[in-house]
C-alpha cells in the first residue's frame, strides 16, 4: 500500500480538515511506535549486559568463598639450631623440688627358666640318689655333719652327702644322698640309715636317717651329668634374657614427656634355690632365675633446662629446647640403696633448637590481608627461614580460618 502524502492530497483534492488531522495523527503514531521499538531494543541489550555482569560477580563471590573454605597453607619453619658437644655430670634427687633436678623410678620383676642339656659324661656309670631325712634325738644341741658323710643301710650299702649339713637339736633336716658306687644294685626302696662314723659313740643310736624317696638312677652304663660349664652357660643365658625383657618392658612403662636411659637400668638377679647342682646325673635340666629391674625416669623438660643452663644461661632455658636427648650417652656414676639419689654423666652431641611461638605466629598470619607474609617471619628471631606452601598451589591468599594454617618444624642433621 502506498503511503498517503498529505500535501499531495491537499493539492489534488480539497479534503476536509478533520480528515487531514486524522491522517497527521496516524503518521505521528507510526513514528512514535518506531521510536518506542528502537528504545526497547536498546534497553534489552543493556539489561542482558547487566545480567551477565551480575552472574560473573556472583560466580566470583561463590568461587572466592569456596576456595577460602577449603584452601589451606603449610608453613615449614626452620628454627635457629646449634649442635654442641656436651660432657657434664649431674645430680638428681627422687621427687626433688625447689630448683633441684628430680627423677622418678620404675620397677619390674621377672621370672625366667632355661632348659639345658648336660654335657658331662661319666663313663664309669651313674650313681643312684634320693632324699633322706636326718634326725637328731641325741641332744638339744645342733649336730654338724661334714661333706661326704656316709649313711649306711642295714645291708651295708653306702650313700654320701655332697655338702655339709646341720641337724638341729631335737629336730631333723632333709638332704640328698648319692650312692658310693655306680650300679643298679644301689637302686633301692625306702630304708633306714645309720652313720658309720659314729660307731662306738652314743650318737650312733641317736642320730640316724630314713628315706623320704626311693634311691634311683644307679647304672654301670656311661651316663651324663651336669658339668660346671653347663651351669655357667645356663646362668649367663638367663641373665641376658632377664636383662633384655626388663629393658624392653620397663621402657614401655615410660610416661609421655619422660626420658629413660636403658643403659642406666639396674638389674639384680638371684638363682632359684632348687636349681640343679654340679655333678647332678641326668641329660636334661631346668634352671630358673628371678630378676628385678629398676629404671630412672627424668622429665625431658627438666633435663633440657639443666643442660641449657650449663651451656647458655638462665634467660635461655625457656627459649631453647633439646631434641633427641636419648642419643646422649648416659653413665650412672652412683646411686644409693633406697634409690633416692643418683649421680650420672651425660656425653655426646646435643641438638639445641630455638622455640618458635607458634600461637602468636598463627595470629599474625591469619590476620594478614595481603600476601607479604615474609615480613612476619622477620619479626621472629627464633626463625632462621620459612617456606609457605599453598593448597591449592595457585591460590596465594592466607586463610582467615586458623584451623587451615599448619606448621611443620624442619630439624637439621649434623
Residue 49 and residue 177: Cα distance in Å, rounded?
117
From 26-35, 74-83, 174-183, the region with the lowest mean pLDDT: 26-35
DSSP 112-150: EEEEEE--EEETT-B--EEEEEEEE-S-SS-EEE-TT-E
How would residue 1 be classed by pLDDT, with cut points 50, 70 and 90?
A: very low
pLDDT at 2: 47
Query: pLDDT digits over 45-81, tens only?
Result: 676 777 777 777 665 555 555 556 667 889 999 999 9
Residue 182 and residue 194: Cα distance in Å, rounded?
20
The pTM of this model reads: 0.59
pLDDT at 263: 83
b (16+ CB within 10 A) / e for 129-138: bbebebbbeb
Q: What is the dihedral of CA 42, 47, 48, 51, to 10 degrees?
A: 170
Residue 29 and residue 32: Cα distance in Å, rounded?
5
Long-range contact set of residues 396-403: C-beta below 8 Å, sequence gap at least 24 = 396/371, 397/67, 397/68, 397/71, 397/371, 398/73, 398/365, 398/366, 398/368, 398/371, 398/373, 399/68, 399/71, 399/72, 399/73, 399/366, 400/68, 400/366, 401/68, 401/366, 402/362, 402/363, 402/366
Query: pLDDT digits over 82-96, tens only?
Result: 999 999 999 999 988
Amino acid at each position: 500500500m502506498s503511503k498517503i502524502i498529505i500535501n499531495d492530497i491537499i493539492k489534488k483534492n480539497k479534503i476536509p480538515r478533520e480528515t487531514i488531522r486524522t491522517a497527521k495523527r496516524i503518521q505521528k503514531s507510526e513514528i512514535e511506535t518506531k521510536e518506542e521499538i528502537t528504545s526497547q531494543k536498546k534497553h534489552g541489550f543493556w539489561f542482558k549486559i547487566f545480567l551477565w555482569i551480575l552472574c560473573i560477580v556472583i560466580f566470583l563471590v561463590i568461587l572466592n568463598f569456596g576456595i577460602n573454605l577449603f584452601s589451606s597453607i603449610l608453613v615449614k619453619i626452620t628454627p635457629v639450631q646449634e649442635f654442641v658437644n656436651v660432657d657434664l655430670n649431674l645430680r638428681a634427687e627422687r621427687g626433688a623440688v625447689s630448683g633441684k633436678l628430680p627423677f622418678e623410678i620404675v620397677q619390674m620383676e621377672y621370672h625366667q627358666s632355661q632348659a639345658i642339656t648336660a654335657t658331662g659324661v661319666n663313663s664309669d656309670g651313674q650313681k643312684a640318689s634320693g632324699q633322706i631325712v636326718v634326725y637328731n634325738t641325741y641332744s638339744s644341741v645342733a649336730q654338724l655333719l661334714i661333706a661326704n658323710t656316709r649313711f649306711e643301710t642295714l645291708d651295708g650299702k653306702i650313700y654320701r652327702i655332697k655338702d655339709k649339713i646341720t641337724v638341729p637339736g631335737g629336730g631333723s633336716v632333709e638332704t640328698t644322698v648319692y650312692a658310693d658306687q655306680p650300679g643298679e644294685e644301689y637302686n633301692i626302696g625306702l630304708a633306714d640309715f645309720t652313720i658309720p662314723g659314729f660307731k662306738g659313740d652314743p650318737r650312733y643310736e641317736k642320730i640316724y636317717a630314713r628315706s623320704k624317696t626311693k634311691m634311683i638312677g644307679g647304672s654301670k652304663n656311661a651316663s651324663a651329668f651336669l658339668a660346671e660349664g653347663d651351669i655357667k652357660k645356663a646362668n649367663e643365658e638367663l641373665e641376658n634374657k632377664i636383662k633384655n625383657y626388663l629393658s624392653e618392658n620397663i621402657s614401655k612403662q615410660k610416661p609421655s614427656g619422660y626420658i629413660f636411659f636403658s643403659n642406666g637400668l639396674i638389674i639384680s638377679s638371684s638363682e632359684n634355690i632348687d636349681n640343679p647342682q654340679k655333678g647332678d646325673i641326668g641329660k636334661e635340666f631346668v634352671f630358673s632365675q628371678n630378676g628385678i629391674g629398676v629404671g630412672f625416669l627424668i622429665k625431658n623438660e627438666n633435663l633440657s633446662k639443666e643442660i641449657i643452663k650449663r651451656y647458655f644461661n638462665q634467660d635461655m632455658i625457656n627459649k631453647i629446647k633439646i631434641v633427641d636427648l636419648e642419643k646422649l650417652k648416659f653413665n650412672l656414676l652412683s646411686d644409693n640403696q633406697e634409690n633416692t639419689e643418683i649421680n650420672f654423666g651425660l656425653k655426646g652431641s646435643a641438638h639445641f633448637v630455638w622455640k618458635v611461638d607458634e600461637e602468636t605466629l598463627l595470629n599474625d598470619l591469619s590476620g594478614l590481608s595481603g600476601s607479604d607474609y615474609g615480613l612476619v617471619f622477620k619479626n621472629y628471631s627464633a626463625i632462621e627461614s620459612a617456606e609457605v606452601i599453598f593448597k591449592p598451589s595457585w591460590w596465594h591468599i592466607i586463610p582467615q580460618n586458623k584451623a587451615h594454617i599448619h606448621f611443620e618444624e624442619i630439624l637439621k642433621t649434623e
